[in-house]
Amino acid sequence: MSTKPVHLAVYDTLADWETGHATAYLARGGYAVRTVGPAREHVRSIGGLSVRPDLALDELRPEDSSLLILPGADLWDAGDELAPFARTAREFLDAGVPVAAICGATAGLAREGLLDDRRHTSAVSFYLAATGYKGGELYVDADAVTDGTLVTAGPTEPVAFAREVLGLLGVFEGEVLDAWFRLYHDSDPAAYAVLQQAGAR
């Protein structure tokens, strides 16, 4: 397993519920989770949480990271303020470092052209179509989609988003990953025993 940290983007209006499953189990799986903001000043989530980033975006380099996570935020659809995060996602993908985007962040990637040639999903297809991107034929109606090193998901699927991230980085695999998803997404009690036996609760 890589010892490089995972980087969680944080910015004003971020949807704080969308990445919690992923970051919690990445941390349990041995990854340090570091926050990266537009600068090092505090940002405030939609839920009112104040977060002081560990580093500023211009300090982040793909070679120092295992993954960049981009949560949704109202700001993704309110102008170009978060466009630098989409440009950084391009740098990560070009370097072969994974990116995971959920909710409004998928629209940011679409505007950057990163979904024009990759299978992807989002809230609904017409949400991304409104960006004017060219990847509509590659849109998949699914809870979450992984294409190579890119994970995308819609706003109602934080658990499926986490499943794809955890699988991509090898935190859980096979029946353990499936059981994890069934427990947290479907409340399947049979999955608990699988996780308990694997020491993966």
5 part of the active site: no
Catalytic residue among 14, 36, 103, 105: 103
3-state secondary structure the chain: CCCCCEEEECCCCECCCCCHHHHHHHHHCCCCEEEEECCCCCEECCCCCEECCCEEHHHCCHHHCCEEEECCEHHHHCCCCCHHHHHHHHHHHHCCCCEEEECHHHHHHHHCCCCCCCCECCCCHHHHHCCCCCCHHHECCCCEEEECCEEEECCCCHHHHHHHHHHHCCCCCHHHHHHHHHHHHHCCHHHHHHHHHHCCC
Give the active site residues: 103
